[in-house]
């Protein structure tokens, strides 16, 4: 729902201001699925608003993991662009929605399936928010609700900065979904201007950085973003963020067999993040195959976490959700547009879209 447009339409029709609040309640609290269910509006008013879509997204396909802990939905936008969204159902009762911020992605990270699609366009505020509302509707009959939202789906959130922030504030708004800011997270591949801008937001959503290496030599092999924003610039921005917000930063570290999973890689990461680890936490993540690399085996992943602990770095091994339905970290890509991920490190190159996007 485009609430900015609704506000304008209601004003043009001379409707009282409380009509907007009624629509928000129907959308975010009652989880109505169409204008027909907004019975606090008269039928004539609903008819006048019929041209404003209640839903911006259409469900195209739903996949549920055999154990029921993960659900992935393929949506079609009004203009035909496709995106994927994932619900992760934790054993402790939390329900986390992994939201996409763009159709496709320009960042071309070699380990990520989304990067093979290229960037189609940014998602609107309504499209971002509706991904969460969709799963809120899905959970309601089960007596459950969305507890957390992570911007870790398709796209680079800080390349759709304004729409992402508006969406998060609407999800946080007491007249919106009323999710606590600390239950909202943004993950970036390392867009320095976005990190610095986010530091001044006075909004307590969580920040996660896809780091994946402790040296430029290694990181540049599979993350083109490291060319304009090498680790020195990235960490300077992160430390500015920490100083301004006094908030912890999560660092995501995807283990690639024989590439970044050695003891010296753990030591390099510890040196990069140190010496003060008070506001640092590392999530060590299993690589979910997208044909570019081999996954580090479980014992080696556990070793890597142990090595970080020995260096004094707080770290955990993230639980995997949805690998069997291509819904895990790095696997999201619209199936009919999914191409081949570049084979081998020498094949990693900046696309034209990535070059242009990284200038912003």
Known catalytic residues are: 84, 329
Q: What does each C-alpha distance from 111 to 86, 262, 300, 303, 325 come to in angstroms?
A: 19, 18, 19, 22, 17
3-state DSSP of the chain? CCHHHHHHHHHHCCCCCHHHHHHHHHHHCCCCCCHHHCCCCCHHHHHHCCCCCCCCEEEEEEEECCCCCEEEEEEEECCCCEEEEEEEECCCCCEEEECCCEEECCCCCCCCCHHHHCEEEECCHHHHHHHHHHHHHHHHHHCCCCCEEEECCCCCHHHCHHHHHHHHHHHHCCCCCCCCHHHEEEEECCCHHHHHHHHCCCCCCEEEEECCCCCHHHHCCCCHHHCCCCHHHHHHHHHHHHHHHCCCEEEEEEEECCCCCCHHHHHHHHHHHCCCCCCEEEEEEECCCCCCCCECCHHHHHHHHHHHHHCCCCEEECCCCCHHHCCCCCCCCCHHHCCCCCCCHHHCCCCHHHHHHHCC
């Amino acid at each position: 729902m485009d609430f900015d447009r609704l506000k304008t339409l209601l004003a043009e029709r001379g409707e009282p201001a409380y009509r907007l609040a009624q629509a928000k309640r129907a959308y975010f609290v009652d989880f109505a699925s169409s204008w027909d269910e907004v019975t606090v509006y008269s039928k004539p008013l609903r008819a006048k608003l019929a041209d404003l879509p209640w839903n911006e997204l259409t469900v195209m396909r739903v996949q549920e993991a055999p154990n029921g802990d993960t659900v992935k939905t393929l949506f079609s936008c009004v203009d035909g662009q496709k995106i994927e969204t994932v619900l992760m159902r934790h054993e402790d009762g939390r329900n986390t929605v992994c939201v996409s911020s763009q159709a496709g992605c320009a960042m071309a990270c070699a380990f990520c399936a989304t990067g093979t699609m290229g960037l189609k366009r940014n998602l609107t505020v309504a499209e971002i928010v509706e991904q969460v509302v969709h799963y809120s509707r899905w959970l309601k009959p089960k007596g459950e609700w969305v507890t957390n939202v992570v911007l870790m789906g398709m796209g680079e959130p800080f390349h759709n900065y304004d729409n992402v922030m508006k969406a998060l504030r609407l999800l946080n708004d007491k007249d919106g979904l009323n999710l606590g800011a600390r239950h909202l997270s943004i993950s970036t591949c390392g867009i320095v201007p976005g990190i610095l801008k986010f530091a001044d937001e006075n909004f307590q959503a969580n920040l996660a950085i896809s780091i994946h290496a402790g040296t430029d030599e290694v990181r540049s092999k599979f993350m083109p973003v490291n060319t304009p924003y090498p680790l020195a610039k990235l960490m300077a921005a992160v430390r500015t963020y920490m100083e301004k917000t006094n908030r912890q930063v999560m660092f995501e570290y995807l283990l690639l067999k024989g590439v970044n999973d050695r003891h010296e890689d753990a030591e390099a990461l510890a040196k990069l993040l140190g010496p003060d680890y008070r506001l640092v936490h590392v999530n060590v993540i299993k690589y979910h195959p997208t044909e570019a690399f081999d996954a580090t085996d479980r014992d080696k992943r556990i070793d890597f976490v142990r090595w970080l602990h020995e260096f004094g770095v707080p770290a955990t091994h993230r639980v995997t959700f949805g690998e069997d339905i291509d819904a895990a970290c790095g696997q999201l890509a619209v199936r009919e547009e999914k191409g081949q991920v570049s084979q081998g490190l020498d094949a990693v190159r900046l696309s034209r879209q990535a070059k242009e996007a990284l200038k912003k």
